[in-house]
Structure 1
Amino acid sequence: MQNFIPTRRAAMALILAGTALTGATGQAVAQDITLGALRLTSHSPTYIALERGYFEDEGLNVELAFFESSAAMAVGVAGGDLDYGVTSISGGLMNLAQKGAVKVIGGALAEDPDVQGHVILASNAAFEDGVTEPAQLAGRSFGVTTAGSSFHYMLSRIAEGEGFDIADVQMKPLQKVGAIIGALSSGQVDGWAIQPSIGKRLVEEGAAHKIGDLSDYAPDYQVTAVFTSTGTAEGEREQTEAFLRALSHGVADYNAAFVDGTADEAEVTELTEIVHQYVSTDVDDARFAKDMAEGSMRINEGLSLSTSSLQSQLDWMQDEGLVSGDITLEMLVDPSYVETN
């Protein structure tokens, strides 16, 4: 876990014995919460909600804790270092749910056949050697963070769709997205699947070739979810509902600006600038605006959750022996907070 980054808008909360007090004006002091985040465009609603004061409006004083992997964030929530997290479904998260430590309470990033989703890439060396479509990933190497990660699951969907055994692909666990980017760009791994905001940039910069779309293999994939500790889900309902309302407001702004195209130009510019404070800060403004305009995936309105996709992911991980066969969807999900399907 890296250092906490406090919101610009946050006021200091007064805490006594873990309970928020009221200030001299009689108004309730904001409740402190810590939220895990990744420096990816898929976390844009978090930054929008933060900078536009949506959390503050709900009486929440939010601090961000930045991570470089989904697994570490899940451990942070389970261990009490974080109140909430937004990241991909992983075997690690499922194992923590079996222990009664965490609950998924909402959905976030999702594949939508009508919107550009994850792109399947080949390194330049692999492409020149004949890897020009996903079926040709058999016998090659593929970048993942860890076994049981979203990247591992995406590879499984490609393998199943193309009729080859996933065991025929050499997975290279590189722990961090940045490390996979470096390995793909230098030809140390042959293939990868990643959000279009990153994938399209790699292609346009000549660092990789696009060879397919994940939506052809997993059109209803619930990529990321919102989760919290079981104690918070069960014992802090008012706070959790306030958190989800604020984040949902950020989702609505994000989708309007970058997915549905219903926001005006000034709104798009403002939101792009907000996100760029946190994501790809080394990329120039024009390039980042292009990434947001052309590479933003849909995030579920109202943070609705595809439990059918989660069940498919759980079934696969159990079939692969990555998680216990005793884990159930009920252990993983608290369906009482958002719409599910």
Structure 2
Amino acid sequence: MFKKGLALVMIIPLIMFVIAGCGSNDQSGETGVKKKAEPVDGELKPLEKEATVTIAEDGSASGAGFYIAKEKGYFEDYNINVEFTKFSNSDQMMPALAAGKIDIAGGISSASFFNSIAQGINVKMIADKGHNIKGQSYFSFVIRKGLQDEIQSYKDFKGKTIAVSTKNGVDDYIFSQMLEHAGLTRDDVQFELMSNFGNMTGSMANKQIDAALQIEPLITKGVQQGVHVPFGDATDYAPKAQIAMVLGSPKFVNERQKVALRFMVAYLKGVRDYNDAFVKNKGGKDEIIKIMTQHTSLQDPEIWKKVRVTGLNPNGRMFVDNIKDQYKWYQSRGAIKGNLNFDKAVDTSLIEKAVDVLGEYK
């Protein structure tokens, strides 16, 4: 939801080529082949004609709900054809989404993301696309192997060189929450801006940095290489941090409501399968891992069995209060220009309707 590096969070993550004309101005969203309208979930019937939904997705792990719903036929059950497309950056993606040229995308929390909306790019945050799972954060701190005796609490980060991938992005926000939790200030540590997560591993191996706010699968790979060890968990100090969000085009959410509801129901079914496999260990993990290897850059099934996975809410709900807190934090640092109307930018109606169809996942 997400910068490429956060692709496994949500991130930051949130990181794609513009295709034009993929949206539809047809309020029904129905474009093609007729299908027999047999109810799929409850009384919700498939669309009578096939509808295409275009998703901007860069192969991040936080897109699991999309991939699983596609491969397991949940979109097809509702006569929805999904098409994935990529953009080189969010500066291209956000206007295309606002204009309805694409229907769905992922957004990573950052000052630049909020600035885009505050300055008039009309997109809607509609569902969760990445957060940390308590005790298993896929986006968390690691320390250089050999420093375990020296660094035993967050307070021991004082005087250490710490690599973080962004300034005024969700990584920076998480970093600030850790400092506050530890009773430290930025002046107490050496902040090292390092946008490439892979470089963090190399710098750790060369003893140029002492700690890093790292992501999966590099956390697991670094452990296997004997370079670093995980330290604590991001939920120690940021238990409800929203890393990434599913974004919807206003045209899709408002003008193609029949399509949008069925899309969201199918998406949540994919997310629930993901949680059943990775969080509840209810079985089916091999099938889900196979789907993830087909759609993401992590193609080693054995690594998938070991990594901490992106948290995805099976009921689709976001930490809306935290989204607002992050916005205020960026604002306090002078990184926001303009004002964001959250009542307009956040729309949870689709996920609530989809949960009404499927029932609460507990």
- Which AA in structure 2 matches 1:287? I
- The reply to whether residue 261 of structure 1 matches residue 281 of structure 2 is yes
The answer as to whether partners of 2:129 and 2:243 remain within 8 angstroms in 1 is yes
User: Aligned partners of 2:126 and 2:175: how far apart in 1?
Assistant: 26
User: Aligned partners of 1:279 and 1:2: how far apart in 2?
Assistant: 14
How much has 1:34 moved relative to structure 2?
2.1
Q: 1:281 to 1:108 in 2, by over 3 A?
A: closer
**Counterpart of 2:331?**
318
User: Aligned partners of 2:211 and 2:224: how far apart in 1?
Assistant: 17
Identity, % of aligned pairs? Answer: 23
User: Aligned partners of 2:309 and 2:267: how far apart in 1?
Assistant: 17
User: Aligned partners of 2:313 and 2:109: how far apart in 1?
Assistant: 15
User: Aligned partners of 2:100 and 2:334: how far apart in 1?
Assistant: 28
Following superposition of structure 1 onto structure 2, how do residues 299-318 of structure 1 map, counting pairs within 5 Å?
A: 299-318=312-331
Q: 1:160 to 1:273 in 2, by over 3 A?
A: same
- The reply to whether residue 271 of structure 1 matches residue 288 of structure 2 is yes
**Counterpart of 1:103?**
124
Q: 1:229 to 1:171 in 2, by over 3 A?
A: farther
- The reply to whether residue 119 of structure 1 matches residue 145 of structure 2 is no
User: Aligned partners of 1:67 and 1:211: how far apart in 2?
Assistant: 34
List gaps (5 residues or longer) in structure 2. Answer: 1-14, 37-46, 356-362
Task: Output the TM-score relative to the length of structure 1.
Answer: 0.79
The answer as to whether partners of 1:88 and 1:223 remain within 8 angstroms in 2 is yes
User: Aligned partners of 1:207 and 1:281: how far apart in 2?
Assistant: 20
Q: Secondary structure at the match of 2:177?
A: helix
How much has 1:149 moved relative to structure 2?
1.8
How much has 1:196 moved relative to structure 2?
5.0
How much has 1:155 moved relative to structure 2?
0.6
- Which AA in structure 2 matches 1:204? Q
- Which AA in structure 2 matches 1:301? P
The answer as to whether partners of 2:179 and 2:185 remain within 8 angstroms in 1 is yes
Q: For 1:154-204, what per-residue CA distance to the aligned partner results, in whole angstroms no more than 9, with x for missing partners?
A: 111111111222355424152x54555555555555433244544233223
The answer as to whether partners of 1:21 and 1:28 remain within 8 angstroms in 2 is no
- The reply to whether residue 155 of structure 1 matches residue 175 of structure 2 is yes
The answer as to whether partners of 2:164 and 2:175 remain within 8 angstroms in 1 is no
Following superposition of structure 1 onto structure 2, how do residues 219-234 of structure 1 map, counting pairs within 5 Å?
A: 219-234=239-254
- Which AA in structure 2 matches 1:333? V
Q: What CA RMSD, in Å, does the superposition of the two structures yield over aligned residues?
A: 3.6
User: Aligned partners of 2:329 and 2:64: how far apart in 1?
Assistant: 29
Paired residue total: 323
Q: 1:16 to 1:254 in 2, by over 3 A?
A: closer
The answer as to whether partners of 1:251 and 1:299 remain within 8 angstroms in 2 is yes
- Which AA in structure 2 matches 1:104? M
